[in-house]
Amino acid sequence: MMELGKEHMMGKVELSGRTKKPAQSQTRNEEHFKTVLKTVRQERELRERNRVKNFLTFKSA
């Protein structure tokens, strides 16, 4: 039963009888994943810059 649940979550099993187009959703997922990764990377770089800036500011004070 757990195996069926896992496959259903991954989109391999469509219970309603309609078949999904895996290529389209796969591409959409990859695009979304790249966008999220880019955003996370930008936030991390911003935090790092702010940390360095704060460190230098407080060190000189």
* pLDDT score, position 28: 87
> Per-residue pLDDT for the chain (61 aa), expressed as one digit of tens each?
455 555 555 555 555 556 656 667 888 889 999 999 999 999 999 999 999 999 988 877 6
13: left (phi over 0), alpha (psi -120 to 50) or beta: beta
39 near 28, Cβ under 8 Å? no
Q: Copy the structure tokens of residue 53.
A: 């800036």
